[in-house]
Amino acid sequence: MSRGQIESAFHTGDHENIAIFVDYDNVYWTLMNRYNHNPNHESEEKNLFNSLWERYGQDQVRTFRAYADFQRIRSSLTDLQKQRVQIRHVYSNDKEGDSRKNSSDIELCIDAIEMTYKDENISCYVFVTADSDMVPIMSRLMYKGKRVELYYLSEAAPKHTDITNYSHYSEDLREFLQLEVKEYHLESYKLDALRFIEEWEARFGTENELYLGAPWLRNQYSVKFGIPANSASELIDLLKIEKLIGSENKELKNGDVKPSIALTEEGRNWLAPLSKT
């Protein structure tokens, strides 16, 4: 289906008052972790905000809001504001990965339902998310007779429910942003990954103030090798499965005991002949 065919299918001329709500915290981390793709991409056709403006038109959108803990996200607030995106900063608990929580989805849902009372002329609500948190608000708006359109990531969507059933139109962000699905051959990163740990141990291994945590190592691998965080996690798992690295409890100066990643004897033996070349 061509872009023109998609545009003719996704909305009608009956909806000239549109509100766009982006669960940016959710979308940002999901796209970065899975594709190493920043939604505020420098390329216009891969930029989430530019693509939404292009699709819905400057004259039809009445509000365009993005919700996230912007202290944690590598996006320029000035750049987003230049794109006429209304920033909604929501504080998170500063943790990484699955332990990271904030209430951006709650704030978004509250604002969306309030919008139905404050501006009854809004007839089309657009939600951009990567999970099922928007299902209750989308269902409620459909009952209210509003048109609901959804942009989501099928790979991250829940398996227990089809979130597309709660919208009149839906589109996968992979297609919408023309994301490239790359294959990463993790075996090719093993040597440099082990050497990174070896160098860290040489510098900080004997110190009792630092430990080598998996989340930090994952982020370092992601940046160093230019791979998504999910692939970096898989690389760490691969090294563990092959017993080249392990985890040992390290007692810190303040009395805390933390699990710290370390080379195993097998890992050191694997590196030894390679280090001489």
d(Cα 68, Cα 40) in Å, to the nearest integer? 13
Place of tokens 């510098």: 203
H/E element holding 115?
helix 104-118
- Give residue 275's pLDDT: 56
Taking the CA atoms of 157, 159, 163 and 164 in sequence, report the sign of the dihedral they define.
positive
Average pLDDT over the chain, rounded to whole? 85
Q: Residues 233, 236, 241, CA angle at the centre, nearest 5°?
A: 125
H/E element holding 3?
helix 3-10
Per-residue pLDDT 10s for the chain (277 aa) are 434 444 445 554 566 899 999 999 989 989 988 888 999 998 888 999 999 999 998 889 999 999 998 888 877 888 888 899 999 988 765 554 444 455 788 899 999 999 999 999 999 999 999 877 889 999 999 999 999 999 998 877 667 778 899 999 999 999 999 888 788 899 999 999 999 999 999 998 787 788 899 999 998 998 899 888 888 999 999 999 999 999 988 888 887 888 999 999 999 998 887 655 5
Cα Rg for the chain, rounded, in angstroms? 23
271 is written with which tokens?
A: 């590196």
- Give residue 124's pLDDT: 95
Closest Cα to residue 195, out of 117, 274, 106, 83? 274
Determine contact, residues 23/67, Cβ cutoff 8 Å: yes
- Side-chain-side CA neighbours of 15 within 13 Å: the count stands at 21
- Side-chain-side CA neighbours of 26 within 13 Å: the count stands at 26
